[in-house]
Amino acid sequence: MKSLDEILNMAKNVQDELEKAQANLDTIEVEGVSGGGLVKVTATAKGRIVGINIDDSLLAPSEKQMLEDLIAAAINDARGKADAASSAEMSKMTSGLPLPPGFKLPF
């Protein structure tokens, strides 16, 4: 059986690794696209939007509603990819930990 000090030390190590993983998520970039690539949104795995690229062909006033819809779709696509990248990073960090099934990090 492990002592309280060993358990606290393990908890501290887990916390340190979690902080590193969280910091790393802001360096991973994903790109969401819509309209066959006419609108692209770049986001970090933490969900921070870092760029939007709109094809010049969409910049006509008559295309305003479609452009707004495409931007929303691209942001949602980027968010989905950011969530997947975040989950993959967190899985790497927790793969060696003896966590009970269904236990989610961060707390």
Task: Report all structural domains of the chain as residue ranges with CATH numbers, in order of start.
Answer: 4-94 (3.30.1310.10)
The three-state secondary structure class of 43 is strand
Question: What is the phi/psi pair of residue 101, to 5°?
Answer: -55, 135
pLDDT at 96: 67
Tell me which of 29 and 21 has the higher pLDDT: 29
Which of 18-22, 41-45, 85-89, 92-96 has the weakest average pLDDT?
A: 92-96
Exposure class string for 17-50: b at 16+ Cβ within 10 A, else e: bbeebbeebeebbbebbbbeebbbbbbbbeeeee
Q: What is the distance between the alpha carbons of residues 72 and 97, in angstroms, rounded to a whole number?
A: 38
Mean pLDDT to the nearest integer, 79-98 = 79
